[in-house]
Chains A and B, each alone.
Chain A
C-alpha cells in the first residue's frame, strides 16, 4: 500500500519538477537539490556490481521522478575501483565536505564500507549500503542502513533446506573474505546443528581464482552436496568447472547462496546451471507485478543486462532515500536517518523492512531452482521463508 501512495506522490513531485524550471525554480522549490553520493566499483574486478547498482538507481529516478519531499534528487557517482579503501574514504569525505551530500550510498565491498563508516558517523549522514553483505557492517556506525542482504540471512535457509532434503554430507566452497567466512560459518553451524556433516571446507582466493583444483578436491571427497558462495560475477566460472569436473554425475548436488547463479550471467552459464538450488532474497523471475515492471524497465533501459540481486539493492536504496525525503519534507541528517528506520515497502524482491533497531534489512528469503523458461534460464522460486532477519554472528 505504502508503495502505491509513495508512487503517486512521486509522480506528483515529478510533475512539479518538470514545471518548476519554467517558473524560475530555486526560490519556488523547497530547497536546494538533495544530493546523494553514490560510491561504487565502476572499474576493476568488481565493476559488474557497480554497473548493476547504478543502472537500478538511474532506473528508479526515471520511473519515479526525481523530486521527493520538494527536493530534486541529484546523484553524484564516484568510482572507488573496488579495491582501495582509502579511495573510498576520501571520496566519502569529499562528497560530504565539498559536495554537501545528504546521504552516502553504494559500497560494493565490505572493507570499503568499513573504511567509509567513520565518515558517516562524523558527518551524521545516513549511509545506505546497497551491495556489501557482511553481517558486521551495520555495527560500524549508527548511521549505516542496509538495503542489500547479509550472508547469514540467505545462508541459513539453504542449510535447513538441505537438511530437509535429507542431505547428510556437504562440502563448502567460499571466497576467502568476510562475507565468504560468514557464509561458511553459518552454513556449517546450521547444517551440523541439524545433524549434517561437513567433511571438507575450502576457501578460494578473492582474486584470480581458478576453481578447478578446488572442485577436483570436492569430487574426490564425494559429499552429497556442495555449498558455494563466491562474489557476484564469479559464479559462471565455478559453474563451468562444476560441470567439467563432472560433479553432478558424481552425485554432488550444487547448492548455495544466489550469488553463484547471478541472474545477469545465468543465461551464459548454459545447461550446467540447470537444477542448481540456491537461497537468496531476489530472483529476476520473482512473480509479482512490482518485479515484472522492474525487470521490464531495467532490460529496456540496459539492453543486454538482466537485473540481478545487486541491482535490487540499488533500487531499494533509492526507495529508502526517496521515501524518507518525502516523509520529512526534504529533511537532512539525523531527521532523515530517523525517517529511514523502520520503513517497510514492497520491493521487486517482495516485502522488506529496514529494522528500526538494527538498521539492517528484514526480508523474505526464497529457495529457488534454475529452470529453463522460454529458452532462457531463470531462478524459479519454490519455497519462501518470510521476514528473515540477519541471524547475527
Chain B
C-alpha cells in the first residue's frame, strides 16, 4: 500500500478521537477486533493454516490478564506481556496437533481445542467465575498516568497504540525472510522442503506468534472492559474473526484491519437502527460480497481504484 494511503489510514483512525468523541468505546473495540483479525491473518492469510478456534488464544489472553489484575497486579502493559507469553506458549504446545493433517482436520482440531478450553473455563468457576464471568478485575492507569475512563478515551488510545505498534511489528515480520518463507509455504507447501525449509518449524513459529497476538488482543479487551467472560473463548468469536478477515481480504495486513473495522462499525450501526433484524442486513452484505468475489473489501477497493485509473 502506498505511504500516503498508509498515513491516511492511521491518521483517520487517530482522528476518531476528536471526530467521534462519544463513540470511543466502539472505536476501541474495533481496534481490538482489528488486532485479533491481524493475528488471524498472520496465520491464515500468510502461513495458510486454517483455524476455527482462534478464540482459544484470545480467551486465554483475556483470562490471563484478567486473573493477574484480579489477583492484585493491575499494571496493564505487563498484563499484555503475560497474556502474550501465555497464549504463545499454548500455541507452541498445540501447534504440533494442529499441523498434522490437511485443512479440514486443522479446522476441526482448532475448533475442538478451543471448545475444550471453553468448557474447562466453564467448569472451573473457582478460578474463572464460570458462566458468570471473572469479576473484580481492576486495572491500574496506563503508564501510571492515564486512568481508564467512562468515555473510553484511555481505552481507545491504548488499544490503538498497541494495535499500531503490533502492526508495525507484523509488517516487519511479514516482509522479513521468515515472512517470505511463510508466503512460500502458503503458495506451495510441497516445494518448500525441497528448498531446504523446515516447514513445520516455521509453521509452529507462525502459529505461536499468531497465538501471542491473539492473546494480546484478548488481554486488551479484558483490561478495557475490566471483565472477562466465557464469550471470549466462544466459537462465535473465532468464526466472526474469520468472517472479518475474509471480508477485508486475506494475506494483507490492511485488509485484515479494514475487515475488522468495517464489520464492527456496520454491526453497530445496523443493530442500532434495527435491534431486532440487523442480522438480515449483515447477511445480505456478506452474500453480496461473496458473490462479487474479488478477495474481500481490499480487493474490491483495488478493483474500483484500478478501473478509475
Contact = CB atoms under 8 A, between A and B. Distances in A.
B133 A94 contact: no
Contacts of B236: 83
Interface string B12-27: 0000000000111110
Contact of B275 (A42, A83, A94, A115): A42
A35 B152 CA distance: 21
Interface string A107-120: 00011001100110
Interface stretch (B87-95, B102-110, B223-231): B223-231
Contacts of B227: 85-86, 89, 111, 114-115
Contact of B152 (A97, A123, A178): A97
B158 to A, nearest CB: 15
Nearest to A93: B25
B276 interface: yes
Nearest to A78: B275
A84 interface: yes
B132 A43 contact: no
Contacts of A206: 131
A119 B149 CA distance: 10
A93, A96, A206 pick with most chain B CB within 10 angstroms = A93
Interface in A51-107: 77-79, 83-86, 89-90, 93-94, 96-98
A278 interface: no
B130 interface: yes
A182 to B, nearest CB: 10
B131 A176 contact: yes
Interface size on A, as a range, is: 20 to 34
Contacts of A85: 133, 225, 227, 229, 231
Interface size on B, as a range, is: 20 to 34
Contacts of B245: none
A83 to B, nearest CB: 5
Contact of B132 (A96, A98, A114): A114
Interface in B172-200: none
A78 B26 contact: no
A110 B132 contact: yes
Contacts of A122: 150
B279 interface: yes
B225 A86 contact: yes
A118 B227 CA distance: 10
A134 B132 CA distance: 10
Contact of B231 (A77, A84, A93, A205): A84
Contact of A178 (B26, B131, B226): B131
A122 B147 CA distance: 13
Q: Give chain A's interface secondary structure class.
A: helix
Contacts of A42: 275-276
A73 B276 CA distance: 21
A94 B25 contact: yes
B243 to A, nearest CB: 15
A86 B275 contact: no
Given A86-B29, A115-B229, A93 B152 contact: yes
B210 interface: no
A345 interface: no
Interface string A180-206: 010000000000000000000000011
A177 interface: yes
A94 B229 contact: no
B224 to A, nearest CB: 8
Given A86-B29, A90-B29, A97 B132 contact: no
B278 interface: yes
Interface in B139-156: 150-152
Contact of B122 (A86, A98, A134, A176): A176
A89 B131 contact: no
A33 B84 CA distance: 47
Contacts of B152: 90, 93, 97
A78 B225 contact: no
Given A94-B26, A97-B25, A177-B130, A115 B225 contact: yes
B23 A98 contact: yes
Given A42-B276, A78-B272, A98-B22, A89 B225 contact: yes
B221 interface: yes
Contacts of A178: 130-132
A111 B23 contact: no
Contacts of B276: 42-43, 79
Contacts of B225: 85-86, 89-90, 115
A177 B131 contact: yes
Given A43-B278, A115-B225, 4 more contacts: A94-B23, A111-B131, A114-B133, A114-B135
Interface of B: 22-26, 29, 122, 125, 130-133, 135, 150-152, 221, 225-227, 229-231, 234, 236, 271-272, 275-276, 278-279
Which 8 pairs between the two chains have the least Cβ-Cβ distance? A98-B22, A177-B131, A79-B275, A111-B133, A93-B25, A178-B132, A90-B25, A115-B227
12 contacts: A79-B275, A85-B225, A90-B152, A94-B22, A111-B131, A111-B132, A111-B227, A115-B229, A134-B132, A140-B135, A205-B122, A206-B131
